[in-house]
């Protein structure tokens, strides 16, 4: 059964709050990430995307960092964006929402003139990102106590 949904840039405060609520459900409640490190100064300058069911129910989110703030996460290359905080609500997994969110973030990256997107993937999600064209590089590292790898996709 498919659930009709749309993905849009989260521009108004209600959309941003919906993004943060999904992140709280997935990262804080499900995965045990401390709330004080889940939300950061980057949230104020990031492009946030939001997937919503046709009745308006929030289903997933992600964010794109670009420019100087991304360069700190991408090895100093200002032409590379940083995809992060990708989360899909438990009730909405397996519906293609994660793929749609990643593609929307990539479109936002292109709109900002970026040539590639980096991300830090939880190791259990490597296959998901590989199927979308991302390639892992560098060693495994912990982030919020969860094993991660760096990945990149050239746009």
Residue 1 has pLDDT above 70, yes or no: no
Note the pLDDT tens digit of each residue in 8-33.
999 999 999 999 999 999 999 999 99
What is the pTM assigned to this prediction?
A: 0.94
Sheet holding 5-9, edge to edge: 5-9, 47-53, 58-65, 80-88, 116-122, 146-154, 135-143
pLDDT number for residue 75: 84
């Amino acid at each position: 059964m498919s659930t009709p949904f749309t993905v849009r840039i989260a521009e108004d405060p209600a959309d941003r709050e919906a993004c943060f609520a999904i992140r709280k459900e997935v990262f804080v409640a499900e995965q045990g990430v401390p709330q004080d490190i889940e939300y950061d100064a980057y949230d104020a300058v990031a492009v946030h995307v939001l997937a919503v069911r046709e009745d308006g129910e929030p289903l997933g989110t992600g964010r794109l960092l670009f420019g100087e703030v991304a360069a700190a996460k991408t090895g100093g290359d200002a032409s590379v964006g940083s995809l992060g905080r990708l989360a899909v609500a438990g009730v909405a997994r397996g519906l293609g929402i994660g793929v749609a969110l990643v593609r929307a973030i990539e479109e936002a990256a292109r709109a900002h003139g970026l040539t590639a997107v980096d991300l830090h993937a939880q190791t259990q999600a490597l296959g998901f990102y590989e199927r979308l064209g991302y390639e892992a590089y560098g060693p495994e590292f912990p982030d919020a106590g969860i094993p991660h790898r760096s990945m990149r996709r050239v746009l």
